[in-house]
Chain A
Amino acid sequence: MLVVLAVLFAAGALTVTRAFHAENVARQEMTEAREALSQVNDLMLILYEAESAQRSVLLGDPSAADPFRAAEAALPGATAQMQASLDRAGSDLSVQGRRLGALAGERMADLSASPAVVPAPTTASPRTAMDDLRQASAAIRREERALMDAAYTRADAERLRAKRTLGMIGLTVLGLIVLAAMLAFRSARAESRLRYRREIEVQRDRAELVSHELSHRVKNLFAVTMSIISVTGRSETDPKIAAKKTRSRIQALARAHELSSGQNLMRTAPFGDLLEAVVRPYCPPGATLRLSGAKLVLPARLLTPMGLIFNELATNSVKYGAWSSPLGTLTVDWTFASDETLIVVWQEQLAEYGPPQPGREGFGSTMIDLSLQQAKATMKRRWGEQGLTARLRFPFSGADKVEVTATGKD
């Protein structure tokens, strides 16, 4: 590309130089021609002057002899000058100039020969002599003009050629610029396509990861569901009760996992939302549920055990605790302690205070214990006059990426 541009510039410079040169030559020739013509005119003027002075002498004016002499004296110089100019212009003009000079010399000689007398017989009549002179000078003028015209034509041709060449160079440069722009555009487009493809790959990988995780979790949930059915079936003799408990446990599982979907597969919904989803459905009409604590995003691994734990606590409350009457109150408070532990206080308030009534130690508490173990959590239960108070501690590992914000949830 650079080489092409350099060649183009060299060609352009050469063309322009040639055009200038032709112009200069034309101007030079014109100057010379004008000089030669003016010298021819001078010569002719000297002759006219001599003729007219000689005629005045003949008509009786002796003072006219002086101009005649001056003209006679000026003629050889003028002739020599003219001859020198014409010699430079070319051999043809040089010959013609010599002829004109000879004719002029002859004429002057004729005039000098008889200044004051009747015109001496000459080889030619004065008029014929002047005619010859006029013709010779006109021929020189024509020739010089032709030379000038030729020079102008050459300069014009050269200028036209320069114009064409420069135009072509301009077009080529324009073409090169367009080509370069197209190449730049194409490479930019290719780059953006590559970027787009990479972005798509990243998105596809992410989607694949999410789909793998989802499929894994679904299989796991089915396995857990099957276990709920079989272990609940083992612990209950009455098939109706077994079916009811199985249903409520599967429902708790479903509600807990409903919170994690789409983008939230890894980091699931806030803890408050989990309680809302799992516990709230058990709240009898008229009874109260108070939830308050920091907004805390749970890791996915805690969804199943937490869902099952709080489901058992809530069903126990409906069976034996605060929610066994429509005026009871359940308060759940939670804080995130500095040692990366979630502390949950589950406090029931019976409508009517009475003696402590720990519920029947059924399979539900085994379920709670198992889920606590799974979550590495602990729970302390205390039954007072007002009902059950349970303190649960869920330790979080560094991998859980806990998010805590100041806003509470009630």
Chain B
Amino acid sequence: MLEGKKIMVVEDEALLALDLAMTMEDLGAAVVGPCYRLGAALDLVRKMKVDGAILDVDLNGETVFPLARYLDEQGVPFVFHTGRADPASLLEAFSRARICTKPSTPERLAACLAEALADADRRSDNQNYAPAYAQDGSSESSQQA
């Protein structure tokens, strides 16, 4: 389900990041990161395209929101991995995001992320049936390639 996908891992707990990265690799994904800080993650995501992301919400006193907004604009699906008690406020700001509460097994996170990727695929399919279909042939051409 995540095979061949480029997945970004943003997590300030190094061990957790390592565990996530290892699990993603086990599932056949290519890990981008792991990133421990917001700045590094933003730099990285601007340089290379990613297919999905796992985001810890609190990064050493910073929130991951600037990165989440950027990914949202790019249409990249992501999962919030957080110990916060108020998922409602997260969904308010990022309606398409999925939330996986800490502590959670890497497998569950992976499943959650796979769902998010599937959602995003459905959304882009719907877009392709829209009247703008003729102008936007990018997804079709990539399928051919």
Does residue A371 face the partner (Cβ distance < 8 Å to B)? yes
Interface size on A, residues (CB 8 A): 28
Interchain CA distance A218-B79 in the complex, whole Å: 21
Q: Which of A212, A215, A219, A367 contacts B15 (CB 8 A)?
A: A367
Q: List 29 A-B contacts (CB under 8 A).
A: A216-B83, A216-B85, A218-B83, A219-B101, A219-B102, A220-B13, A223-B13, A223-B16, A223-B102, A223-B104, A224-B13, A226-B19, A227-B15, A227-B18, A228-B15, A230-B22, A230-B23, A231-B18, A231-B19, A231-B22, A234-B22, A305-B14, A367-B15, A370-B14, A370-B18, A371-B14, A371-B15, A374-B13, A374-B14
Is A264's beta carbon under 8 Å from chain B? no
B72 on interface, CB distance cutoff 8 Å? no
Judge whether A399 is part of the interface by a CB distance below 8 angstroms. yes
The answer on a CB contact under 8 Å between B85 and A224 is no
Which residues of chain A come closer than 8 Å to B85, judged between CB atoms? 212, 215-216
Task: Verify B36–A308 contact, CB threshold 8 A.
Answer: no
**Which residues of chain B are near A228, meaning CB under 8 Å?**
15
Interface residues of A in 279-316 (CB under 8 A from B): 301, 304-305, 308
Asked whether A223 lies within 8 Å of B83 as measured between CB atoms, the reply is yes
Residues in chain A near residue B103, CB distance under 8 A: 219-220, 222-223, 225-226
**How close is B44's CB to chain A, nearest CB, in angstroms?**
15
- Any B CB within 8 A of the CB of A373: yes
Query: A224 to B16, Cβ gap below 8 A?
Result: yes
- Please measure, in the bound complex, the distance between the C-alpha atom of A367 and the C-alpha atom of B18, giving whole angstroms: 9
- Closest Cβ of chain B to A57, distance in Å, is 137
Complex Cα gap A231–B16 (Å):
9
Q: Which of B18, B23, B36, B104 lies at the interface centre, i.e. has the most chain A CB atoms within 10 A of its CB?
A: B18
Q: B105 an interface residue at 8 Å Cβ cutoff? A: yes
Q: A224-B15, A304-B13, A374-B14 are in contact. Are A230 and B61 (CB under 8 A)?
A: no
B139 within 8 A of A: no
Interface presence of B47 (CB below 8 A): no
Whether B115 is near chain A, meaning CB under 8 Å from some CB there, is no
Chain B residues positioned under 8 Å from A366 (CB to CB): 18
Q: Give the residues from 1 to 47 in chain B that come closer than 8 angstroms, CB to CB, to chain A.
A: 12-19, 22-23, 36
Closest 8 CB pairs of A and B: A219-B83, A370-B14, A222-B103, A227-B19, A374-B14, A223-B103, A227-B15, A219-B102
- Output the least CB separation between A194 and chain B (Å): 30
| B15 engages A220 (CB within 8 Å) | no
What is the 8 Å Cβ interface bit string for chain B, positions 97-122, against chain A (1 contact, 0 not)?
A: 00001111110000000000000000
CB distance from A232 to the nearest CB of B (A): 9
Distance in Å: Cβ of B123 to nearest Cβ of chain A: 30
Across the two chains, which residue of chain B brings its CB closest to A228?
B15
Whether, in the assembled complex, B124 has its beta carbon less than 8 Å from a beta carbon of chain A, the answer is no
B83 and A373 within 8 A (CB): no
**Min distance, Cβ B86 to any Cβ of chain A, angstroms:** 9
Q: With the chains together, A366 CA to B17 CA distance in Å?
A: 13
**Bound Cα distance A222, B81 (Å):** 13
Query: What residues on B are CB-neighbors of A218 within 8 Å?
Result: 83
Which residues from chain A contact B12 at a C-beta distance below 8 Å? 374
- The yes or no answer to B127 lying at the interface (CB within 8 A) is no
CA distance A8 to B145 in the complex (A): 105
Closest Cβ–Cβ distance, residue B137 to chain A (whole Å)? 43
**Do A373 and B19 touch (CB < 8 A)?**
no
User: What is the distance, in angstroms, from B10's C-beta to the closest C-beta of chain A?
Assistant: 13
Shortest CB distance A403–B (Å): 18
B63 touches A (CB below 8 Å):
no
Mark out the residues of chain B between 50 and 91 whose CB falls within 8 Å of any chain A CB in the assembled complex.
Answer: 58, 60-61, 83-85
Give A223 to B106 CA distance when docked, in angstroms.
Answer: 10
CA distance A320 to B14 in the complex (A): 25
From A308, which residue of chain B is reached at the shortest CB distance? B15
Chain A: minimal CB distance from B41 (Å)? 14
* Residue of A212, A215, A373 with highest tally of chain B CB at under 10 A: A373
